[in-house]
Amino acid sequence: MVLSKMEKIQSVLAEKRTTFLLGAGASVPFFSSLGKIEEYLSNQKLDESGKSLVMVIFYYIAIKNNDLLIKHILEDKSELKDDKVLFQYSRFVYNVIEFLKLRNSRVSPRRTNIFTTNYDLFLEAGY
Protein backbone atom coordinates (compact mmCIF):
# COMPACT_ATOMS: atom_id res chain seq x y z
CA MET A 1 0.00 0.00 0.00
CA VAL A 2 1.42 3.38 -1.04
CA LEU A 3 0.82 6.25 1.37
CA SER A 4 0.16 9.78 0.20
CA LYS A 5 2.36 12.61 1.47
CA MET A 6 -0.36 13.69 3.89
CA GLU A 7 -0.73 10.14 5.23
CA LYS A 8 3.04 9.92 5.74
CA ILE A 9 3.07 13.21 7.64
CA GLN A 10 0.12 12.09 9.76
CA SER A 11 1.88 8.82 10.52
CA VAL A 12 5.08 10.55 11.62
CA LEU A 13 3.21 13.07 13.75
CA ALA A 14 1.14 10.37 15.39
CA GLU A 15 4.00 7.95 16.12
CA LYS A 16 7.26 9.86 16.50
CA ARG A 17 8.65 12.48 18.80
CA THR A 18 8.19 15.74 16.99
CA THR A 19 9.92 19.08 17.23
CA PHE A 20 8.94 22.17 15.31
CA LEU A 21 11.21 25.16 14.72
CA LEU A 22 9.45 28.34 13.69
CA GLY A 23 11.89 30.67 12.03
CA ALA A 24 12.24 34.41 12.02
CA GLY A 25 9.86 34.89 9.09
CA ALA A 26 6.93 33.07 10.66
CA SER A 27 5.32 36.26 11.94
CA VAL A 28 5.57 38.31 8.76
CA PRO A 29 3.62 40.47 7.83
CA PHE A 30 2.60 41.34 11.43
CA PHE A 31 6.25 41.98 12.28
CA SER A 32 8.65 43.12 9.62
CA SER A 33 11.65 41.02 8.66
CA LEU A 34 14.83 42.19 10.35
CA GLY A 35 16.67 42.24 7.06
CA LYS A 36 20.26 43.38 7.43
CA ILE A 37 20.09 44.69 11.00
CA GLU A 38 23.16 42.71 12.14
CA GLU A 39 25.11 44.01 9.16
CA TYR A 40 24.18 47.58 10.04
CA LEU A 41 25.05 47.16 13.71
CA SER A 42 28.44 45.62 12.95
CA ASN A 43 29.37 48.27 10.38
CA GLN A 44 32.57 49.96 11.58
CA LYS A 45 31.55 53.26 9.94
CA LEU A 46 28.40 53.54 12.09
CA ASP A 47 28.91 55.54 15.29
CA GLU A 48 27.09 54.94 18.58
CA SER A 49 24.23 57.32 17.78
CA GLY A 50 23.73 55.54 14.45
CA LYS A 51 23.65 52.16 16.22
CA SER A 52 21.14 53.56 18.70
CA LEU A 53 18.96 54.68 15.81
CA VAL A 54 19.14 51.20 14.26
CA MET A 55 18.10 49.70 17.61
CA VAL A 56 15.13 52.09 17.86
CA ILE A 57 14.06 51.10 14.35
CA PHE A 58 14.49 47.43 15.32
CA TYR A 59 12.21 47.99 18.32
CA TYR A 60 9.48 49.55 16.20
CA ILE A 61 9.55 46.95 13.42
CA ALA A 62 10.19 43.81 15.47
CA ILE A 63 9.11 44.20 19.08
CA LYS A 64 6.69 47.06 19.74
CA ASN A 65 3.54 45.33 18.53
CA ASN A 66 4.01 42.65 21.18
CA ASP A 67 1.94 44.95 23.40
CA LEU A 68 -1.05 44.08 21.19
CA LEU A 69 -0.28 40.38 21.67
CA ILE A 70 0.02 40.80 25.45
CA LYS A 71 -3.33 42.59 25.51
CA HIS A 72 -4.82 39.75 23.46
CA ILE A 73 -3.38 37.13 25.85
CA LEU A 74 -4.29 38.85 29.12
CA GLU A 75 -7.59 40.47 28.27
CA ASP A 76 -8.74 38.12 25.50
CA LYS A 77 -10.08 41.12 23.61
CA SER A 78 -8.18 43.12 21.08
CA GLU A 79 -8.11 44.20 17.50
CA LEU A 80 -6.11 41.05 16.70
CA LYS A 81 -9.26 38.95 16.53
CA ASP A 82 -9.13 38.83 12.73
CA ASP A 83 -5.35 38.97 12.27
CA LYS A 84 -4.16 36.49 9.62
CA VAL A 85 -0.84 35.71 11.35
CA LEU A 86 -2.57 35.01 14.67
CA PHE A 87 -5.05 32.80 12.82
CA GLN A 88 -2.21 30.77 11.27
CA TYR A 89 -0.48 30.33 14.64
CA SER A 90 -3.79 29.26 16.21
CA ARG A 91 -4.37 26.83 13.37
CA PHE A 92 -0.85 25.41 13.79
CA VAL A 93 -1.26 24.90 17.55
CA TYR A 94 -4.72 23.38 17.05
CA ASN A 95 -3.39 20.91 14.45
CA VAL A 96 -0.45 19.90 16.64
CA ILE A 97 -2.89 19.16 19.48
CA GLU A 98 -5.16 17.18 17.14
CA PHE A 99 -2.23 15.03 15.96
CA LEU A 100 -1.20 14.44 19.56
CA LYS A 101 -4.67 13.05 20.23
CA LEU A 102 -3.98 10.33 17.62
CA ARG A 103 -0.98 8.99 19.53
CA ASN A 104 -1.10 5.81 21.50
CA SER A 105 0.22 7.22 24.78
CA ARG A 106 1.52 3.80 25.87
CA VAL A 107 3.85 3.71 22.84
CA SER A 108 4.68 7.38 22.34
CA PRO A 109 4.05 10.18 24.85
CA ARG A 110 1.59 12.86 23.88
CA ARG A 111 3.97 15.77 23.73
CA THR A 112 5.88 17.79 21.21
CA ASN A 113 8.45 20.57 21.25
CA ILE A 114 7.95 23.94 19.62
CA PHE A 115 10.88 26.34 19.38
CA THR A 116 10.95 29.77 17.87
CA THR A 117 13.66 32.21 16.89
CA ASN A 118 11.17 35.07 17.03
CA TYR A 119 10.92 37.95 19.45
CA ASP A 120 7.16 37.79 19.36
CA LEU A 121 4.48 36.23 21.54
CA PHE A 122 2.37 34.65 18.81
CA LEU A 123 2.71 31.12 20.19
CA GLU A 124 1.40 32.31 23.53
CA ALA A 125 -1.42 34.22 21.85
CA GLY A 126 -2.24 31.50 19.34
CA TYR A 127 -3.98 28.97 21.52
Percent of the chain whose predicted confidence (pLDDT) is above 90: 6
Assign 115 to helix, strand or coil: strand
pLDDT, average across residues 32-61: 86
Does residue 121 carry a pLDDT above 70?
yes
CB atoms within 10 A of CB 62: 19
The share of the chain scoring above pLDDT 70, in percent, equals 88
What is the pTM for the complete model shown? 0.73
**Mean pLDDT of the region 28-39:** 80
The dihedral of CA 69, 74, 78, 82: what is its sign?
positive
How far is the C-alpha of 23 from the C-alpha of 93, rounded, in Å? 15
